[in-house]
Structure 1
Amino acid sequence: MAGGTVKYRHLSRNSAHRQALLRNLVTALVQHESVHTTWPKAKETQRMAEKLITLAKRNNETSRRKAQGILFTPQALLPKLFGELRERYADRPGGYTRVLRTEPKSQYDQGASAILQLVDGPKDLRFAMTAAAVARDRQLKRPSNELTLMNRAKVIRYREDGARGFDDMVARLGALNLAGGGKDKRASREERDDGTDIDVSRLAKSRTGAAKGMNASIS
Structure 2
Amino acid sequence: MPQPTKGPRLGGSPAHEQLMLANLATSLFKHGRITTTQTKAKRLRPLAERLITQARRDDLASRRLVRKTITEKDTFVQLFEEIAPRFKTRPGGYTRIVKIGPRKGDAAPMAIIELVEELVVAAPAAPAKVAKATAKKATKADVLAAQAGETEDEAPAAVAEVEADDAKADDK
TM-score w.r.t. the length of structure 2 is: 0.64
Identical amino acids, percent of aligned pairs: 36
Higher RCO (C-alpha under 8 Å, 6+ residues apart): 1
Residues 5 and 69 of structure 1, relative CA distance in 2, 3 Å threshold: closer
- Structure with the greater alpha carbon radius of gyration: 2
Structure 2 counterpart of 1:66? 65
| Deviation sequence 1:70-92 (CA, Å, 0-9, x none) | 1130x111221111111110000
CA shift at 1:96, angstroms? 0.3
TM-score between both structures, scaled by the size of structure 1? 0.51
Q: What is the CA deviation profile of residues 47-103 of structure 1, one whole-angstrom value per residue up to 9, with x for unaligned ones?
A: 110000001011100000111111130x11122111111111000000000111111
Number of residues of Structure 1 aligned to a counterpart in Structure 2: 119
In structure 1, the residue matched to 2:23 is 24
Aligned match of 1:48: 47
Question: Counterpart amino acid of 1:51?
Answer: R
**Secondary structure of residue in 1 paired with 2:113:** strand
Structure 1 residues 62-141: aligned runs within 5 Å: 62-73=61-72, 75-106=73-104, 108-120=105-117
Structure 1 segments of 4+ aligned residues over 2 angstroms from their partners: 4-9
Provide the aligned C-alpha RMSD in A. 2.2
2 CA distance for matches of 1:87 and 1:8? 37
Which runs of no fewer than 5 residues in structure 2 stay unpaired? 122-172
Consecutive unaligned residues in structure 1, runs of 5 or more: 121-155, 160-219
Name the SS of the counterpart of 1:117 in structure 2: strand
Q: Is the 8 A contact 1:9 1:44 kept in 2?
A: no
Q: Match of 2:12?
A: 13
Measured in 1, the distance between the counterparts of 2:103 and 2:69 equals 28
